[in-house]
Amino acid sequence: VDFLEREPSAEVLTFDDSVHFRNQERSEESVFVFPYGSVVIWGMDVGSEQVMLRDLKKFQLSPLPEPEGDEFRYEYDSTPGITNEAVKLTIGVDSQETI
């Protein structure tokens, strides 16, 4: 992905159910790509999101006629989870444990 070439501090983590791209210098920026085609972009401005989606477009097999989107608010808590349209994140835990 072109993102990796543009961002020398980019890191790629692979899991059974997703690939996680993150910028080590700007830790709030993350991209999760799932095998069924969903992409979750976290902490990027709209312009950076559009660039990332353009980079990923070349890997599409059967795209939807129109992209779908959603926005969630997030908060920090001692227990990770999703409640009332909010994603609860923990602080100070290795990212592989919270995914």
At 34-87, the pLDDT tens digits run 988 899 988 889 998 998 899 898 888 888 898 888 887 888 888 888 887 788
Are 46 and 33 within one domain?
yes
Residue 98 pLDDT: 42
Residue of higher predicted confidence among 85 and 13: 13
Are 85 and 42 within one domain?
no
> Which tokens hold the place of 31?
């991209």
Residue 96 pLDDT: 45
The H or E element containing residue 54 is helix 46-57
pTM higher than the cut 0.85: no
Give the chain's radius of gyration (CA, Å): 14
The whole-angstrom separation of Cα 43 and Cα 51 is 14
| Number of domains present in the structure of the chain | 2
Are 28 and 41 within one domain?
yes
Domain of residue 56 covers 1-65
Residue 42 pLDDT: 83
Are 55 and 73 within one domain?
no
32: β partners? 20, 40
Are 73 and 60 within one domain?
no
Residue 39 pLDDT: 92
